Structure 1
């Protein structure tokens, strides 16, 4: 977390005047947050909001300028073992996506869009405008966008952000004639990001190109149409079942397709004789996995302790739904999982140990890292070559990058 102490007391700071001014500004803003706004008139509140937002622009300008310089030095990587975005997320307790996006914006402003950075420093545009410009600048059109940055900035005056961003998108598409007509052969253009929210919610942000875009669009729309027809029939039978809107239908279509894929995977484990294939039941990550922690003092199974593979608790309703037709794995451990020993007979952690690590560590244990269990390696705390054993007491979950950092 950010240090609340005054930085000007550190005798090693290179420019105490700069940090003294920054400290004074922080104190003034902290005092501002304590004002009793109930005594202001409506006009005064409007004026205050306008001035606060203008101040925010200057803070954003200073932030991206410092971040770009910091990232160019690779300091957080060499000193803290974390890239600038991940370090910023840890120190400011903000999301990884937001912090990394801010660093990317800062770097593009510094390297390619000095006029946009200057407009931000002068308070003429917001950080959102700057981020939109850098976000539209793919490698094929970055130089062209930079050449017409004056016109892009002039278009901001007298219009809303939404309309201006639409115009920016149209300009970027016009400049990217070659890129806009590619058949989608560049597989790296296809991206999908997921992150978990509260109350067992999942946020998905995806970009698909070419045949991938057409295939997914057609499949989801076709399935959503089927759902609409079915739900529309149901709603005519009872008024208690209203037909969802299109966005909800598309979300339900995606969920149903995932369930169908899970069921198909499970069914492929059965041969013609009706016996189950061991490779299917042992595959990590196939189907929906739940974890139940049972202490030796428990006398009954408590479904309120159900968690998902990221060790997030599940609601009673969701637990009841998922456990109607479960595939159950048994993992017996003591309180510290010391019963899962391989000693020196095998170097790599086995499947059971990886499950135990996922449950115990919940992902990468490097300070500030939020990578989930499925992205981690089983790291030997005492190196194998130095006599370390492949026991849970000597294993820790580290993502591939931080695993590399620990072995530097």
Structure 2
């Protein structure tokens, strides 16, 4: 297979050397169609290989928490793109063979294949094999004419074409299923952009959406004739107000051993009104004005930093990684310190670099923040080692079978002060 892929790659390189301007209009259209069909065939092969990677647990062998994370790190994909790839590969593996075959022949795009699989999953369990085969073929035929959104709309009424006697009953069941699915699919994602802004995306079920609207609406009313904020800006401000109100109640559960709090790293000069910036524990930077504004309504927790941004002292240390010591770990590591892991501090525990049972001390010089998966990996896989680099930040040395040079690696997903 590798030799065949190399041959295909060489042929594509030859095509890249040919000038597109030399093609006639008809040849140009034919070339675009041919490339599109080839992309779908390659996608079908890619999905089959990704499914095999997942089945063999290659990701965990390489130290990743999942196939999604492994793909993200190895091929520099976004997390959503890697997740969609793994989900489609898994679903396609158990789907009717006609769907995978149509994708391999270039008759479907991956988005169309995903839509067809969603439609087939929603069909009644007692639908006969003949009706399912008819539905599959009809959806593939429609895919030759319609893009995914229209294909999904048509697919929602597929029973009218393949099993009319079941359509009404299935429609009622589908409404119930849609309600349950909306609850199961609820999620909220906060994605930090290079600018420091955060993009909110997600899905809410109807009940939660009603609660959110009820909480937001009273806070989104314009404050007066001089309020020039757009409706979207007013909603953003209202969400921040609601979160501040929740933090002030003191009733939120502890987070990593501490009550929920906003942690800002700054200098005395900044607080005193001079130039300088602050850094949140999420890695985002704040203006001096924002730091002083937060300080007006916060308990100040001193953190003394050395010249290389090493945390030198955050108060009296304890036996466990809690309180000031945990805050120091979060401040230094920003989340799981294992290379390629993006899990945030609240998902992580402190790990003794030299184990407690072996006489290791509970202090910052012997600590690293690790998520549950990588905590187990370091404890049970002696091929991976961790130490603090010259600047006091964690470095991980991979096993020789993974990297013969055993070059130390660092996590670059989290902010480093």
**Of 212, 216, 232, which residue of structure 2 is paired with 1:220?**
212
Q: Which residue of structure 2 aligns with residue 199 of structure 1?
A: 195
Query: Contact (CA 8 Å) 1:378, 1:398: kept in 2 or not?
Result: yes
Name the CA shift for 1:150/1:316 in 2 (closer, same or farther; >3 Å): farther
> Which segment drifts farther, 380-389 or 149-158?
149-158
Q: What's the TM-score once normalised by structure 2's chain length?
A: 0.71
**Of 369, 390, 402, which residue of structure 1 is paired with 2:341?**
369
Name the CA shift for 1:242/1:190 in 2 (closer, same or farther; >3 Å): closer
Query: Contact (CA 8 Å) 2:354, 2:360: kept in 1 or not?
Result: yes
Name the CA shift for 1:138/1:20 in 2 (closer, same or farther; >3 Å): same
Name the CA shift for 1:354/1:228 in 2 (closer, same or farther; >3 Å): closer
Taking the TM superposition and a 5 Å limit, the aligned residue runs for 1:255-404 are 255-265=240-250, 284=258, 286-292=260-266, 304-314=276-286, 322=294, 325-334=297-306, 335-339=309-313, 346=319, 348-404=320-376
Query: Contact (CA 8 Å) 1:112, 1:143: kept in 2 or not?
Result: no
Offset from partner CA, 1:204-257 (integer Å, 9 cap, x none): 333344xxx32x3223334555456526xx4xx46x82753xx66554543332
CA distance in 2, matches of 1:177, 1:336: 61
CA distance in 1, matches of 2:364, 2:198: 30
Query: Contact (CA 8 Å) 2:302, 2:314: kept in 1 or not?
Result: no
Name the CA shift for 1:32/1:399 in 2 (closer, same or farther; >3 Å): farther
Structure with the higher strand share, 1 or 2: 2
CA distance in 1, matches of 2:172, 2:375: 42
Structure with the higher helix share, 1 or 2: 1
Q: Which residue of structure 1 aligns with residue 73 of structure 2?
A: 90
Q: Which residue of structure 2 aligns with residue 168 of structure 1?
A: 155
Q: Which residue of structure 1 aligns with residue 405 of structure 2?
A: none
Query: Contact (CA 8 Å) 1:116, 1:153: kept in 2 or not?
Result: yes
Q: Which residue of structure 1 aligns with residue 146 of structure 2?
A: 159
Q: Which residue of structure 1 aligns with residue 392 of structure 2?
A: none
SS of equivalent residue, structure 2 residue 280: coil
Query: Contact (CA 8 Å) 1:228, 1:249: kept in 2 or not?
Result: yes
CA distance in 1, matches of 2:153, 2:137: 17
Query: Contact (CA 8 Å) 1:342, 1:391: kept in 2 or not?
Result: no
CA distance in 2, matches of 1:96, 1:86: 7
Alignment gaps of 5+ in structure 1: 1-17, 270-278
Q: Which residue of structure 1 aligns with residue 239 of structure 2?
A: 254
Query: Contact (CA 8 Å) 1:224, 1:252: kept in 2 or not?
Result: no
Query: Contact (CA 8 Å) 1:57, 1:120: kept in 2 or not?
Result: yes
CA distance in 1, matches of 2:291, 2:22: 50
Name the CA shift for 1:282/1:387 in 2 (closer, same or farther; >3 Å): closer
Name the CA shift for 1:318/1:105 in 2 (closer, same or farther; >3 Å): farther
**Cα distance, 1:263 vs structure 2:** 3.8
CA distance in 2, matches of 1:156, 1:281: 48
Query: Contact (CA 8 Å) 2:183, 2:204: kept in 1 or not?
Result: no
Q: Which residue of structure 2 aligns with residue 405 of structure 1?
A: 377
Name the CA shift for 1:156/1:356 in 2 (closer, same or farther; >3 Å): same
What value does the CA root-mean-square deviation take over the aligned residues? 4.2
Query: Contact (CA 8 Å) 1:337, 1:356: kept in 2 or not?
Result: yes
Are 1:25 and 2:12 matched, yes or no?
A: no
**Cα distance, 1:282 vs structure 2:** 11
Q: Which residue of structure 1 aligns with residue 394 of structure 2?
A: none
CA distance in 1, matches of 2:365, 2:50: 39
Are 1:230 and 2:222 matched, yes or no?
A: yes
**Cα distance, 1:105 vs structure 2:** 1.1
SS of equivalent residue, structure 1 residue 407: helix
**Cα distance, 1:76 vs structure 2:** 2.4
Alignment gaps of 5+ in structure 2: 160-166, 381-417
CA distance in 2, matches of 1:116, 1:359: 49
Q: What's the TM-score once normalised by structure 1's chain length?
A: 0.73
